[in-house]
Structure 1
Amino acid sequence: MEKIVVLDFGSQYSHLICRRIREFSVYAELVPYDISLDELKKLEPKGIIFSGGPFSVYNSDAPIPKKEIFEMKLPILGICYGHQLIVNNFGGKVKRANKEYGSSLLIIENDYDLLSGMGESIRAWMSHGDEAEQIPSSFKIIGHTETANAAAIANQEKSIYGIQFHPEVVHTEQGTEILKNFALKICRVKQEWTMETFVENTVNKISKIDGNVLCGVSGGIDSTVTALLIQKAIGNRLKCIFVDNGLLRLDEEKEIEEMFKKNFSVNFNSVNAKQQFLSKLKGVTEPEQKRKIVGEEFIKIFTDFAGKNGPFKWLAQGTLYPDVIESGFSKGPASIIKTHHNVGGLPDWLNLEILEPLRELYKDEVREIGKILGVPKKLLFRHPFPGPGLAVRIIGEVTDEKLKIAKIASKIVEEELEGSQL
């Protein structure tokens, strides 16, 4: 499948660039900025985007792309810090400036293919400290703002472009159209990324694996879609386990079991482990410690279930694309935010391989697949709930009394949200 590759230089918007591109049916993949040249070539990108980042090109530890990337003769778009990297690489000058954060009016000087159809001006979202003082001789300025003379530049011969603003955020007018111009008009990438195709290809891949699959389901959209995709591919070789840890929302365990048995034909197994979890959480007050305990107890239950109902070769998880970054498993500049409950390992002796069919998807893409697979609307738009459940919503020690209050409070809040269609 043809694709655009986004090099991640640590921007908070890196994933959003990919998401915006996928919205118009083009596959975009996020990779570390220091990806090897061989690995990058294997991806066979039709174009490359440099994300923004919280760095200055003059910092000694600033992430810099390999110079060979510029020699691949592929279209390149640099965004914010990525724009400054392009200026610096081709002999221009970047200067430190007053930090600019907010909306600016971008005056379009040349209706090049990147800014085609934008009109005379657009509101563009700025978030930067440095800016281009002198552009390389081989580039032309195609847009400026009141404070940034070279807010958009182009080398049309090499198909290399730089923009000081963020087209991926909603605050930039016609930002998605700019990304679309780059992908479709400049890179000429095919629009092949659809969820129907994803389902077909994923089911085909999973159908070729051997052995049984163990899948933990929580009643959330991610684990449910994971289970349905796998079940569609291998049928009864999938066994699902739902763990009632006592930390769920009011009557949630009953609703989940009823939903699965009424709507889906998966092999559904429920385990009541309320006392096991609550006894381990007794006296614990720190949220991260609670997460670890909940994760450890899940592993014990999964291990016991696998031993009694196996053998299993695979453990399925509903890990999404952002989950991997969230857990610090990225090679890019992102750091650990918090331990993610889907990422971890069962004991080595189980010898289970991990199956993550949703690993490259975003949440709204998972919902789209859910629609295709017949997931009820109520579940598709069910409010998210953390794996450690009410344990991390309760301040201090988890007690029966606090759980009762938290369950009722959660129900009231969600009823209000649903009543307001939020």
Structure 2
Amino acid sequence: MQKHQLVLVLDFGGQYNQLIARRVREHNVYCEVKSYKTPIEEIRALAPIGIIFTGGPNSVYEADSPRCSKEIFGLGIPVLGICYGCQLMAQLLGGEVTAAQDDSAREYGKTQTYYSTGCKLFKGLPQEGISWMSHSDYMARVPEGFALVGHTAMCPNVAIADEGRGFYGVQFHPEVNHTENGALMLKNFLYEICNAKGDWTMEDYKNTSIQAIREKVGDGKVLLALSGGVDSSVAAALLAEAVGNQLTCVFVDHGLMRKDEGDEVEAAFSKWEINFVRVDAEKRFLDKLAGVSEPEAKRKIIGEEFIRVFEDEAQKIGKVDYLVQGTIYPDVIESGAGDAAVIKSHHNVGGLPDYVDFKEIIEPLRLLFKDEVRQLGRELDLPEYLVMRQPFPGPGLAIRVIGDITKEKLDVLREADFIFRDEIAKAGLGATMNQYFAVLTNMRSVGVMGDGRTYDYTLALRGVTTTDFMTADWARIPYDVLDRISVRIVNEVGHINRIVYDITSKPPATIEWE
């Protein structure tokens, strides 16, 4: 594939590491996240035009704190340190970082900040604005050669720069929306300091991906795991353009879909000029999941069973060399790699079995964020209703039924979820939320229906707004709409006598409950 300019994000455990990468890509510059442990030889071989150090929960003066090789500063590559990354830069280059001696040096949240606009990092910015702080450590002494280029009322050195060597550090987070003009700061780092060309576009990604797929596959046969969601649909369109009738799309109806969804997926893809196979595997999956309540176990069982179904279908088709999945970047990160924490194993990443009977798994979207996948879908001329379809997890309703899974529980959830989505559509609120769904909890409580006592399940409703699905806020659904949803569900769906609405953002919660 064509070599793009690369900006490398070195992750020190920061909660915004993926957000930094996404913000860089928004400026048409390709970016990847690597561990701070990445060997200097690998970094040199990657030849990035710039390096960004993320924040992190540690203190740089602690003996076991994460730190990269000091040799990075001898590569002649510009470096931007953010929060912990700023303090690490100061420490490694001869400065001194200590715990704040009093509250005046600790800063959290929105903070009025003053910038030296003669510095390239702050070129074109107003001289003051709000930045998002999150630090309790303090640069007691900045390294030789660095100038102070930003301050607050409490802290004189919230931004430092050695412009001669191209080293910059900020103790706030320019990647979050709370920081005014944070996007412009990152753009300045990319274009004013790293001399970026802006050569990362979805049109180019489409063309180079198609060429790479053709070279890899040759005349081999390809099996694609099609769920009907955005990711697998875009992957299907990309592969169809690359290899045509060498591709077979297999839709596994595992009995964990929403109401009527299997029929809708089949109808949508029957119009395409592809080999489409629908496999009824409901009993097979439910038998495997019987009695299993732990979320990670569910995901891994579903992940393995998906592969086994595809292997069975491949044998029917004949020799199949490649399996294609719609894995995207957040799936990979949340499933954990190296030192990264496992937030949840995605069935097509952390849930894969050790042995897979295919020559290779192809994941053409593996380095893309959700919004980039949608852009790619438009480049491939996918219909807008597919491009903007709400995300639906590969494990389906298995992770929206808390506790053990039965067909009866799934049917209850299907009906309740349908009513929720139906009322949201009738209220014209679908475009105001990026994802909304129902969760059948494992909690039962006492209720009264008619003149009788009930002891039935609590249903949770979840709606979120987000741009990247790495962070999300809960949607403010009007009370009258929630009331109509509640009345309909308790009257039309059996075994539910209580309904709650989830008002937790991500973080600290995830969007899905499991």
**What residue in structure 2 maps to residue 275 of structure 1?**
283
Q: Which residue of 1 aligns with 2:23?
A: 20
* Deviation by residue 1:342-397 (Cα, 9 ceiling, x = unmatched): 11546747242111111111100000111111222222222211111111111222
Match of 1:47? 50
Inter-CA distance 415–41: structure 2 relative to 1 (3 Å threshold): farther
Q: Percent identity?
A: 48
- Does residue 365 of the first structure (1) align with residue 372 of the second (2)? yes
| TM-score of the two chains, using structure 1 as the length reference | 0.96
Q: How does 1:400-411 map to 2 (within 5 A)?
A: 400-411=407-418
Within 5 Å, give how 1:288-327 maps onto structure 2. 288-327=296-335
Name the structure 2 match of 1:241.
250
Q: Find the aligned partners of 2:129 and 2:270 in 1 and give their Cα distance.
A: 52
Q: Which residue of 2 aligns with 1:339?
A: 345
Q: How does 1:48-197 map to 2 (within 5 A)?
A: 48-97=51-100, 98=103, 99-197=106-204
Matched, 1:7 2:28: no
CA contact under 8 A between 2:125 and 2:181: conserved in structure 1?
Answer: yes
Cα distance change of structure 1 residues 349 and 283 upon mapping to structure 2, 3 Å threshold:
closer
One of 229, 254, 264 as aligned partner of 2:263 = 254
CA distance in 2, matches of 1:288, 1:67: 39
| 1:8 alignment partner AA | D
* d(CA) in 2 for partners of 1:169, 1:242: 38
Q: CA deviation at 1:223?
A: 0.8
- Specify which of 232, 236, 241 is matched with residue 223 of structure 1: 232
Aligned equivalents of 1:403, 1:387: Cα separation in 2: 15
Deviation track 1:98-122 (CA, whole Å, cap 9, x = no partner) reads 5532010111145211011111201
Length-normalised TM-score, structure 2 = 0.79
Query: Residue 32 of structure 1: which of 26, 32, 35 is its match?
Result: 35
Cα distance in 1 for partners of 2:23, 2:132 equals 15
Structure 2: runs of 5+ lacking an equivalent: 434-514
The answer to whether structure 1 residue 232 and structure 2 residue 226 are counterparts is no
Alpha-carbon separation, structure 2, partners of 1:317 and 1:308 = 19
Number of equivalenced pairs: 419
Are the aligned partners of 1:341 and 1:387 in contact in 2 as well (CA < 8 Å)? yes
SS at match of 1:390: helix
CA contact (8 A) 1:383 1:414 kept: no
The code of the aligned residue for 1:232 comes to: E
Deviations 1:325-354 (A, max 9, x none): 11112x3x3211222111154674724211
In 1, the alpha carbon distance for the partners of 2:15 and 2:204 equals 29
- Please give the alpha-carbon distance, in whole angstroms, between the structure 2 residues aligned to 1:297 and 1:389: 13
Contact preservation (8 Å) 2:11, 2:17: yes
Unaligned runs of 5+ in 1: none
Counterpart residue type for residue 228 of structure 2 = G
- CA distances 1:37-95 after superposition (whole Å, capped 9, x unpaired): 22111211111111111111112221111111000111111000010011111211112
Residue 205 (1) aligns with residue 212 (2): yes
CA contact (8 A) 1:303 1:346 kept: no
Read off the aligned partner of 1:22 and give its amino acid letter: R
Output the CA distance in 2 between the equivalents of 1:147 and 1:413: 49
Bigger relative contact order, structure 1 or 2 (CA pairs below 8 A, ≥6 apart)? 1
The RMSD of aligned alpha carbons is: 1.6
Q: Does 1:385 align with 2:388?
A: no
Change (3 A) 1:158 1:222: same
Give yes or no for contact 2:237–2:382 (8 Å, CA) kept in 1: no
- 1:135, 1:348 → 2: CA distance? 52
For the Cα contact (< 8 Å) 1:110–1:143, is it kept in 2? no
For 1:159-210, what per-residue CA distance to the aligned partner results, in whole angstroms no more than 9, with x for missing partners?
1000000000000001010000000001101110100000000001111122
Determine the C-alpha separation between the residues in 1 that align with 2:63 and 2:388. Answer: 46
